[in-house]
Amino acid sequence: MRQNDWIYCTAVGQDSHRFMTPAERASQPERPLVLGGLKIPDEMPLAGNSDADVLLHALTNALSGLTTRNILGRRADRLCLDQGITDSAVYLREALADLASGHWELVHISLSVEAARPRLADWLEPIRDRLAGLTGLRAGQIGLTATSGEGLSAFGRGDGMMVICLVSARRPDLV
Ligand SMILES: [Zn+2]
């Protein structure tokens, strides 16, 4: 068997979460806002069964778009509700394992965040570095932009956060 060429593919993933209500916040005062695997201090956390890491969920969904094996939903619910695993990095690892078993090599990740809060300017580089660590890519292969959305949507009004992720990957075209 020899490698003839590369097959390139792209896939999209999306996710959104609302911020916790003050009552929910009061019942879980230790819960942090988690974005891209980083704890962002002094910000209202997002609501969800897991750590509600909207960036990692959008990325995981995009990887599922490549592998056609969905993680978020039944598989993540099993990890979260049955095994108590709320760290979204574990869900991402499942998607990366599916990717590897399909001989896919990730070549680029592009993430676009819509949110009025928190202010992400100072966090973009640390999050890219963290995503590089989680995926094995270089930070230079990971694009991350953020827009306030001008108040046009619930995300732009500060009710929650929404992320769209596009992933590009290649695999050998074996003949
Ligand atoms: Zn989610």
Per-residue pLDDT tens over the stretch 13-64: 999 999 999 999 999 999 999 999 999 999 999 999 999 999 999 999 999 9
pLDDT per position as a tens digit, 91-131: 999 999 999 999 999 999 999 999 999 999 999 999 999 99
Distance from the CA of 104 to the center of ligand 1, in angstroms? 24
For ligand 1, the distance from its centroid to the CA atom of residue 121, given in whole angstroms, is: 22
Which residues keep their CB under 5 angstroms from ion ligand 1? Answer: 15, 57
pLDDT beyond 70 at 2: no
Options 3.30.1330.50, 2.40.50.40, 3.20.10.10, 3.40.30.120; CATH for 3-174 is 3.30.1330.50
Question: What are the Cα distances from residue 161, in Å, to 14, 20, 136, 147?
Answer: 11, 11, 26, 10
In the chain, where the domains are located? 3-174
Q: How confident is the model at residue 3 (pLDDT cuts 50, 70, 90)?
A: low
Type of residue at 14: Q
* pTM of the complete model: 0.94
Q: Is 54 exposed, middle or buried (0-12, 13-18, 19+ CB in 10 A)?
A: buried
CA of 165 to the centre of ligand 1 (A): 13
Whole-number Å distance, alpha carbon 122 to ligand 1 midpoint, is 23
Distance between Cα 70 and ligand 1 center (Å): 13
